[in-house]
């Protein structure tokens, strides 16, 4: 600002030289005129400088203070090109404010997720642990020598131990998926072979529940690009759910359909004739530990993580999961897979 004022004054003095020559002004006259004009020029330059810089400096200072107080405002001029160094500094301050805001939001989400996750785990672990504790205490207090109840209590304790094992396994799986630690090993594979492997492994469980697994015919030469083990995990979780929440004498149907909007994809569906899901619950069934029927889910050995794992695996593949359900009629879970391009369907 001082340099600008000095420059303006020098320009004024230099400009007065030809004027003084024309008006036959003496050197003393020129000095007097300069002394009179100096304050006016200085004040004018100062006011212009304040108008040009003070508002922007004040705005930058306001943003910095807002950052320290974790208060952020919308900056409409973020995309404007800087005209001078102060504009550049102001824009950088705006960008810094946005960056800090996004980072704080991300950290808050992580913290909320951590608290929620710990709360969920604590709640889910307490039930089997307290059950095991109760059965063992009962046995130690004398039931161990009662042949009519000791084996029953031991079997119940073992069932809760198994539940803890499944819960721990699923927790490790979903933790690796959510943190990105578990990487997908994409490869070309024959879809029907993978489905057949899963169906065969679950036939015994289906027969035990008096539920039929129906595999619809489709081209055995269809190949998809995906992680074989992860897709098997998805199928196991969805088919097991179809068996667990089915009615006696019901069925679980597995088949494929074309995706109308994308010829490079197919939709693999698992449809059951079970209890169905309420419309309000459909959006939440893929959340961790969310159960539509809590008592029945625990009774059947569910951990509440199966559908959450399914969702994470499908999303890691860049595919989509769709759920359609009608209460007392059944549910259909379908997800897309990308076909290998050189295979014609």
CA 81, CA 284: separation in Å to the nearest integer? 45
**Ranges in the chain annotated CATH 3.30.565.10:** 187-338
Where residue 73 falls (left for φ over 0; alpha for ψ -120 to 50; beta otherwise) is beta
CA 195, CA 191: separation in Å to the nearest integer? 6
- pLDDT tens, residue by residue, 81-103: 666 677 777 777 777 777 887 88
pLDDT value at residue 75: 55
pLDDT value at residue 5: 47
pLDDT value at residue 34: 63
Task: Report the relative pairing of strands 251-258 and 212-215 from DSSP bridges.
Answer: parallel
Whose CA is closest to 274, among 288, 294, 292, 295?
Answer: 292
Largest pairwise CA distance in the chain = 132
pLDDT value at residue 284: 87
pLDDT value at residue 99: 81
The answer to whether the CB of 280 falls within 8 A of the CB of 327 is: no
pLDDT at residue 23 tops 70: no
283-291 average pLDDT score: 82
User: pLDDT: is 185 or 273 the higher one?
Assistant: 273
The answer to whether the CB of 325 falls within 8 A of the CB of 269 is: no
CA 64, CA 68: separation in Å to the nearest integer? 7
- pLDDT tens, residue by residue, 174-218: 777 777 777 788 999 999 999 999 999 999 999 999 999 999 998
User: pLDDT: is 138 or 24 the higher one?
Assistant: 138
Topology of domain 118-179 in CATH is Helix Hairpins (1.10.287)
CA 282, CA 294: separation in Å to the nearest integer? 15
Tell how far CA 37 is from the center of its chain.
66
pLDDT value at residue 59: 73
pLDDT at residue 296 tops 60: no
Q: Which residues does residue 271 pair with via DSSP β-bridges, in sequence order?
A: 253, 332
pLDDT at residue 18 tops 80: no
95-113 average pLDDT score: 79
User: pLDDT: is 238 or 124 the higher one?
Assistant: 238
pTM over 0.75: no
The pLDDT mean for the chain works out to 79
Whose CA is closest to 335, among 239, 237, 234?
Answer: 234
pLDDT at residue 261 tops 60: yes
Question: Which segments within 211-342 are labelled E, that is strand?
Answer: 212-215, 223-226, 251-258, 265-272, 321-326, 330-338
Q: Which residues does residue 189 pair with via DSSP β-bridges, in sequence order?
A: 224
How confident is residue 16, by pLDDT bands cut at 50, 70 and 90? very low
CA 247, CA 296: separation in Å to the nearest integer? 13
User: pLDDT: is 278 or 19 the higher one?
Assistant: 278
DSSP letter at 339?
B
- pLDDT tens, residue by residue, 317-336: 999 999 999 998 999 999 99
Per mean pLDDT, which of 69-83, 191-205, 285-299 is the most reliable? 191-205
CA 113, CA 178: separation in Å to the nearest integer? 11
pLDDT at residue 1 tops 50: no
244-261 average pLDDT score: 92
The answer to whether the CB of 39 falls within 8 A of the CB of 76 is: no
Q: How many CA atoms lie within 13 A of 300 on its CB side?
A: 20
Domain at 187-338, CATH from 3.40.50.11540, 3.30.565.10, 3.90.330.10, 2.60.40.3080: 3.30.565.10
CA 126, CA 117: separation in Å to the nearest integer? 14
The answer to whether the CB of 227 falls within 8 A of the CB of 262 is: no
Residue 163 three-state SS: helix
- Total length of the chain: 345
Residue 261 three-state SS: coil
**Ranges in the chain annotated CATH 1.10.287.130:** 118-179
CB atoms under 10 Å from CB of 18, counted, come to 9
């Amino acid at each position: 600002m001082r340099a600008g004022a000095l420059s303006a004054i020098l320009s004024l003095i230099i400009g007065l030289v030809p004027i003084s020559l024309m008006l036959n002004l003496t050197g003393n006259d020129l000095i007097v005129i300069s002394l009179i004009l100096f304050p006016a020029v200085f004040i004018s330059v100062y006011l212009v400088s304040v108008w040009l810089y003070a508002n922007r400096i004040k705005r930058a200072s306001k943003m910095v203070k807002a950052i320290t107080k974790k208060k952020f405002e919308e900056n409409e001029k973020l995309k404007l090109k800087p005209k001078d160094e102060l504009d550049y500094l102001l824009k950088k301050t705006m960008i810094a404010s946005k960056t800090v805001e996004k980072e704080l939001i991300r950290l808050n989400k992580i913290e909320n997720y951590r608290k929620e996750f710990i709360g969920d785990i604590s709640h889910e672990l307490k039930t089997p642990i307290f059950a095991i504790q109760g059965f063992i205490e009962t046995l130690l207090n004398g039931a161990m020598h009662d042949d009519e109840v000791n084996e029953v209590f031991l079997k119940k304790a073992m069932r809760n131990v198994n539940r803890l094992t499944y819960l721990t396994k699923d927790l490790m799986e979903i933790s690796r998926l959510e943190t990105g630690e578990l990487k997908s090993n994409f490869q070309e594979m024959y879809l029907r072979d993978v489905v057949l492997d899963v169906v065969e492994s679950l036939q015994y469980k289906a027969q035990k529940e008096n539920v039929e697994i129906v595999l619809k015919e489709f081209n055995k030469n269809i190949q998809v690009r995906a992680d074989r083990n992860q897709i098997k995990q998805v199928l196991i979780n969805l088919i097991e759910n179809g068996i667990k929440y089915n009615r006696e004498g019901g069925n679980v149907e597995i088949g494929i359909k074309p995706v109308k909007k994308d010829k490079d994809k197919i939709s693999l569906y698992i449809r059951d004739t079970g209890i169905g899901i309420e419309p309000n619950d459909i959006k939440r069934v893929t959340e961790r530990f969310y159960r539509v029927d809590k008592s029945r889910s625990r009774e059947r050995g569910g951990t509440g993580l199966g559908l959450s794992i399914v969702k994470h695996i499908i999303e890691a593949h860049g595919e989509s999961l769709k759920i359609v359900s009608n209460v007392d009629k059944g549910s259909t879970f379908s997800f897309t897979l990308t076909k290998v391009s050189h295979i014609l369907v």
